[in-house]
Structure 1
Amino acid sequence: QFPSCHNPVRINGSEANFSLPRHREDEEEGADRHPFLTDAWLVPLFFSLIMLVGLVGNSLVIYVISKHRQMRTATNFYIANLAATDIIFLVCCVPFTATLYPLPGWIFGNFMCKFVAFLQQVTVQATCITLTAMSGDRCYVTVYPLKSLRHRTPRVAMIVSICIWIGSFMLSSPILIYQRIEEGYWYGPRQYCMERFPSKTHERAFILYQFIAAYLLPVLTISFCYTLMVKRVGQPTVEPVDNNYQVHLLSERTISIRSKVSKMVVVIVLLFAVCWGPIQIFVLFQSFHPNYEANYATYKIKTWANCMSYANSSVNPIVYGFMGATFQKSFRKTFPFLFRHKVRDGSTASRTANAEIKFVAAVEGNNNNAAN
């Protein structure tokens, strides 16, 4: 029979190590001598790698967007907001979670117990809503291409991002009520940072609320947006009035640009769903399955799922680098010493950023000529 968890810190429903059963010989030899398991160094090492890659990559993304004027588009503002959530998550949450594996208990006090759990929930919630906003943005561009050019501005994206953070703080506030320090035992008396609910019903309701708000609802909304986008793909952006070759060329070019950006957003959303799905489903199973029993097998599964969720914060910049042509050009212009070939000032990055504007100007010019 397994007692309560070794470090039952449930940050967004994830636990660290579960405790091994106590034996009489352990108590006789010394209660404070807990075993140093493989995960005590392997998981923190993996988290350190995640932090290194994530902090460098996301910082570069924000730096490139802020440095180059042509990168300050509505979509890139959402990407910068996503990078900011990843940085806050990596700095304020990952190190504390990493310490749960080598240490026998929580050592940072009650305030940090609440603060770390709350901030992690806020950043995860902000990530979900930002991805939903990005998907809605791409859907709006695809379904209403010309109208979107007049309404999708960096200022609107910034206002939406601020509202996302305010909403995330509000949706995550229940964490402050239930997260607290609890006394426990694992090779001696320990303190644990964990969620404590008045009843099992409260616990299940809270976990279901987290699952719906931070995973299911965003995924369903994003799926709906991309269903609309799929129906729209391949349809002409606008019907030119006089079969002007330049208008046709700009139309094809604009469709190509939008398609590439939309594919990048799809990959980012899919990575989020794949990385966070296992831990979300596991926590639901753990709370609602009547015959769930904590053992070493479930612990290993949950540790793997936890690592998957944390890895999501470091993979997005890699996606931008491989799939975002504009990001590639801007990276090369910002750090030319890292690349063999120089990038000309009149590169595709600049032309790509202004292609939609040129397209609208050409269409409106043709319409005016036709009217005259």
Structure 2
Amino acid sequence: MNSTELSLWLNSSEANFSEEEDGEQHPFLTDAWLVPLFFSLIMLVGLVGNSLVIYVISKHRQMRTATNFYIANLAATDIIFLVCCVPFTATLYPLPGWIFGNFMCKFVAFLQQVTVQATCITLTAMSGDRCYITVYPLKSLRHRTPRVAMIVSVCIWIGSLILSTPILMYQRIEEGYWYGPRQYCMERFPSKTHERAFILYQFIAAYLLPVLTISFCYSMMVKRMGQPTVEPGDNNYQVNLLSERTISIRSKVSKMVVVIVLLFALCWGPIQIFVLFQSFYPNFRATYATYKIKTWANCMSYANSSINPIVYGFMGASFQKSFRKTFPFLYRHKVRDSSMASRTANAEIKFVPAEEGNNNHDAN
């Protein structure tokens, strides 16, 4: 989906319904200032939150786990999206056309598609990772490492770049007219069949397939939750203790990942379904009412990039502890309670050999 088409969609529709004199000023609608203001808030919250997430993971060694590497990759995609895509989209509401040239037209649309695709694949990888650690809790201790997560993250970016290349063929500058001649950055297809095929491809690759894969992973997790935690043949007392010790932590991390995935599905679902409906419904007619619906759906999708750090802060216990260490002046009244909890946890873990404890730490 290409958000830059929003402004053109309204403008061209208005132009078809009204004939104005060449010299008349185009109307300054409410969304011309309200949407950029909302996007500015999204950028502020998203950049600060995601930057803090990456900083905390890189600063504290205990945070460099497999799951947190995926979270850092997710934060990186959000930052790139917020910096390279949101400001250009925001200008489309107060301005009547695209002013940044043909190169930026292709680059912004391509980068938006890459980051959205990378987000989808990263969420799928995170869900698969949680499924693996839930279904095979002991085997995963040997195979889930930060190094593997880093390699997977690099592959995600390479795959996203490849999957997003079609956008470069169809994105271009087009001449139009709305209260004077304008230039628009939009997708231009050889035929309606090509347009529908491309939109269907985007819907499947960037939304439907990841959501179905994630749903399958969590159905496997739910099925596994009712079964014994320790795999057959693992009768060692210390191994059993280690497995029981980590099951509650893994459950909390899995719940956090579930919330992140659900937020993605809810935030990106409306715009994906709307674009699909707009392209395939034969009687669809562009009006100002449908434009407002699409604007709301687009704002929902952009807001997703600023929500994830809030989820980490409320649901991620390890993130909360690391934030306290990094910014102790914000948590002075909680330092004593945190220290007592830490000593209690250390006392419990003494029963586990150092090597097993380290493996367990990497698994989370």
Task: Report the TM-score when normalising by structure 2.
Answer: 0.87
Distance change (3 Å), C-alpha of 1:169 and 1:259: same
Deviation at 1:338, TM superposition (A): 1.4
Moved more, 204-213 or 354-363: 354-363
> How far is 1:234 from its partner?
3.6
CA distance change for structure 1 residues 358 and 86 in 2, over 3 Å: closer, same or farther?
farther
User: Cα distance, 1:340 vs. partner?
Assistant: 2.2
Q: Name the counterpart of 1:207.
A: 199
Contact 1:104 1:190 in 2 (8 A): yes
Deviates further, 246-255 or 204-213: 246-255
The verdict on how the C-alpha distance between 1:218 and 1:119 changes in structure 2, with shifts beyond 3 A counting, is same
Distance 1:13 1:143, change over 3 A: farther
Q: Is the 8 A contact 1:18 1:299 kept in 2?
A: no
Deviation (angstroms), 1:352: 11
Partner deviation per Cα, 1:292-335 (whole Å, 9 max, x = no partner):
00001100100000000000000000000000011001001000
CA–CA distance in structure 2, aligned partners of residues 151 and 102 of structure 1: 52
Return the alpha-carbon distance in structure 2 between the equivalents of residues 37 and 48 of structure 1.
18
Q: Is the 8 A contact 2:138 2:243 kept in 1?
A: no
Cα distance in 1, alignment partners of residues 218 and 35 from structure 2: 36
Instruction: Tell me the distance in 2 between the aligned counterparts of 1:177 and 1:325.
Output: 45
**Partner-residue secondary structure (3-state), 2:133:** helix
Q: Compute the displacement of 1:364 (Å).
A: 7.8
CA drift of 1:55 comes to: 0.2
Deviation at 1:163, TM superposition (A): 0.2
Q: By how many angstroms is 1:239 displaced?
A: 6.2
Instruction: Give, in angstroms, the shift of residue 354 of structure 1.
Output: 9.4
Shift of the 43–343 alpha-carbon distance from structure 1 to 2, 3 Å rule, reads same
Unaligned 5+ residue runs, structure 2?
1-9
Q: Do 2:69 and 2:149's aligned partners in 1 also have CA atoms closer than 8 Å?
A: yes
Query: Which deviates more, 353-362 or 180-189?
Result: 353-362
From 171, 175, 193, give the equivalent of 1:183: 175
* Distance change >3 Å, CA 52–CA 94, structure 1 → 2: same
Contact 1:44 1:99 in 2 (8 A): yes
Flag the 1:100–1:63 CA change in 2: closer, same or farther, 3 A.
same
Partners of 1:238 and 1:13 lie apart in 2 by 63
Q: Give the number of the structure with larger relative contact order, counting CA–CA contacts within 8 Å between residues 6 or more apart.
A: 2
Report the CA distance shift for 1:81/1:349 in structure 2 as closer, same or farther (over 3 A): farther
SS of the residue 1:13 aligns to: helix
CA contact (8 A) 2:121 2:156 kept: yes
Query: What is the rounded CA distance, in whole Å, between the counterparts of 1:342 and 1:195 in structure 2?
Result: 53
CA shift for structure 1 position 339:
1.6
Going from structure 1 to structure 2, the CA distance change for 1:29 and 1:79 (only over 3 Å counts) comes to: same
Identify if the C-alpha distance between structure 1 residues 346 and 149 changes in structure 2 by more than 3 Å, giving closer, same or farther.
Answer: farther
CA-based RMSD of the aligned residues comes to 4.8
Q: 1:141 to 1:53 in 2, by over 3 A?
A: same
Q: Give the 3 Å change call, closer, same or farther, for CA 271–77 of structure 1 in structure 2.
A: same
Distance 1:37 1:242, change over 3 A: closer
The Cα shift of 1:238 comes to: 1.4
Q: Does the CA contact (< 8 Å) of 1:253 and 1:355 recur in 2?
A: no
Farther off after superposition, 333-342 or 358-367: 358-367
Q: Aligned partners of 1:266, 1:224: CA distance in 2, in Å?
A: 12
Residue-by-residue CA offset, 1:249-287 (whole Å, 9 max, x unaligned): 543321101100000000000000000000000000000
State the Cα deviation string for residues 183-209 of structure 1 (Å, max 9, x = none): 001111000000000000000000000
SS at 1:187's partner residue? coil
Match of 1:57 among 44, 49, 52: 49
Q: CA deviation at 1:51?
A: 0.2
In the alignment, the residues of structure 2 paired with residue 213 and residue 91 of structure 1 have an alpha-carbon distance, to the nearest angstrom, of 24
| Pair 1:349–1:76, CA change in 2 (3 A) | farther
1:136-176: CA deviation from partner (whole Å, max 9, x where unpaired): 00000000111111000000000000000000000000000
Q: For residue 179 of structure 2, give the secondary structure of its aligned residue in structure 1.
A: coil
Q: 1:253 to 1:195 in 2, by over 3 A?
A: same
Following the alignment from structure 1 to structure 2, what is the Cα–Cα distance between the partners of residues 360 and 15? Answer: 70
* Aligned CA distance change for structure 1 residues 155 and 350 (closer, same or farther; 3 Å): farther
Q: Tell me if the contact between 1:118 and 1:175 (Cα under 8 Å) persists in the aligned partners.
A: yes
CA distance change for structure 1 residues 242 and 311 in 2, over 3 Å: closer, same or farther? closer
Asked if structure 1 preserves the Cα contact closer than 8 Å seen for 2:46 and 2:79, the reply is: yes
Q: Is the 8 A contact 2:102 2:173 kept in 1?
A: yes
Percent of residue pairs bearing the same amino acid type: 91
